[in-house]
Amino acid sequence: MRLSSPPTAIFAVNDNTAMGAISALLNLGLRVPEDVSLVGYNDIPILGCLPTPLTTLRVSFDQIAMTALDLLISGRSRPCEPIQMAAPTLIPRRSTMANAGKERPAS
């Protein structure tokens, strides 16, 4: 964040890291989202309760588990099989500038 052109947004590897980033940014005197937008990954339950609710990507662990179980039961293990994907869902909250001042209903 001390670069001559610091980033204006951070996409953290997971929500816990994003919460640590909020703390580090505040310690540097920066504001989320006014100075830096922040996005996490996983949508852990506490995110909506933070002083600045965290925008995140929600992963459907149920979908991932069902796909893994289907692959296990079917016995498909050849390397030429297509990759299975589960698309995450964006959960916008106030930690991104586009959502500053807006609240999404709890889900």
- pLDDT 10s digits, 52-97: 999 999 988 888 888 888 878 877 666 656 677 788 999 999 999 8
Residue in the block written with tokens 């001390």: 2
Range of the domain at 41: 9-60+90-97
Q: What is the pLDDT of residues 19-47, one digit of tens each?
A: 999 999 999 999 999 999 999 999 999 99
- Global pTM reads 0.76
Give the contacts of 25 (CB within 8 A, at least 6 positions apart). Answer: 1, 31, 32, 35, 36, 38
> Is 19 contained in some domain?
yes
What token pair was written down for 95?
């930690």
Q: For the domain that residue 47 is a member of, what is the CATH number?
A: 3.40.50.2300
> Is 105 contained in some domain?
no
How many other β-carbons are positioned within 10 Å of the β-carbon of residue 44? 16
> Is 49 contained in some domain?
yes
> Is 36 contained in some domain?
yes
